[in-house]
Amino acid sequence: MACQERAEQVEPSPRCSTWDQDVARIEERMEAQEAAWNAGDLEGFMEPYWQSDSLLFVGSRGPSFGWDTTLANYRKSYPDAAAMGKLTFGVEGIEPAGPHHALMLGSWRLDRTGEFEPLSGWFSLVWERRDGDWVIIRDHSS
């Protein structure tokens, strides 16, 4: 039975308590990512991503691999605060995908001014528990 379906129970099971903590941590990482973007801090924005050459990012230009490549692509596409705009995430859901993985579906929106049009789209993320924390190992954003 899912944790949400057990709301009438007074005490959550250890499994649900752990999952609830995992979801809270993943949401915290997303909030920090949004705040870093809005502060113009691309390195801070990249903090939740797995710092590996095996990180997979799939965007409108197709797949790319690696943390460094992903950061370089963000720097090229968003060279300054005006291009970055204000980022807002809308998390639609987070689901477990085994004991060390979670799947997230959500939306993103960039509100920008001047010569830059607002942008918006959707993302799906695969999170993995690594070294005691949750990191994004796959990002498909459109």
- The pLDDT value recorded for residue 11 is 39
pLDDT at 10 over 50: no
pLDDT at 14 over 90: no
Mean pLDDT value across residues 86-91 = 98
Q: Which fold has domain 13-141?
A: Nuclear Transport Factor 2; Chain: A, (3.10.450)
To the nearest whole number, what is the mean pLDDT of the chain?
90
- The pLDDT value recorded for residue 72 is 97
What whole-number distance in Å separates Cα of residue 61 and Cα of residue 40? 23
What whole-number distance in Å separates Cα of residue 33 and Cα of residue 84? 13
For the beta carbon of residue 78, count every other beta carbon within 10 angstroms: 20
Question: HSE on the CB side for 138, CA within 13 Å?
Answer: 10
pLDDT at 17 over 90: no
Mean pLDDT value across residues 25-52 = 98
